Amino acid sequence: MRKIFLGLGSNLGNKKANLDRAITTINRHYDIKVVATSSVIETEPWGMTEQLEFLNMAIEIETELNPKSLLNEIMRIEDDLGRVRDIKWGPRIIDIDILFYDTLILNVDELNIPHPYLSERDFVLKPLNEIASDFVHPVSGMTVKELLKINEMELSK
């Protein structure tokens, strides 16, 4: 099985219930197994800042799905849970991002792995650090713990 880390977020409706429903739906998929979950943190919006706060978390999954098939399944799950894609970085019931897919580096039109903004997003790094602190970013060569420390230093400036 491949080791994959996903970031989950929600800032509409019952945010905690949205995250729980996403995890349940992911785990019910016949080809995906949730093996670890972080705690849930409340965060300020990123990108488009004039919106409600988010709840964010990270999960580790195992799957044999290839990256494109996994992305298709994630997008289907988001759609099934009521995700509307109308404003980039706008409010959403659920957002599920592929953060890491083993040590794969992939840059195609609709899919970039590792996630291109991962190193800049405290709301991704904090929960990811809880479940994958020693995971090495295949591009930077740094662990999640190291990336979080650098990000926190940048934010404190």
**Inter-CA distances, 70 with 22, 92, 143, 152, Å:** 14, 20, 24, 31
pTM for this structure?
0.92
CATH superfamily of the domain spanning 2-116: 7,8-Dihydro-6-hydroxymethylpterin-pyrophosphokinase HPPK (3.30.70.560)
> Where in the chain are the domains?
2-116
* 3-class DSSP state of 44: coil
Nearest one of 74, 76, 141, 157 to 103, comparing CA atoms? 141
Residuewise pLDDT in 10s, the chain (157 residues): 678 999 999 999 999 999 999 999 999 887 899 999 999 999 877 766 677 888 999 999 999 999 999 999 999 999 999 877 776 666 788 999 999 999 999 999 889 999 988 888 888 999 999 999 999 999 999 999 999 999 888 777 7
The token pair that represents 134 in the structure block: 């020693």
* 3-class DSSP state of 15: helix
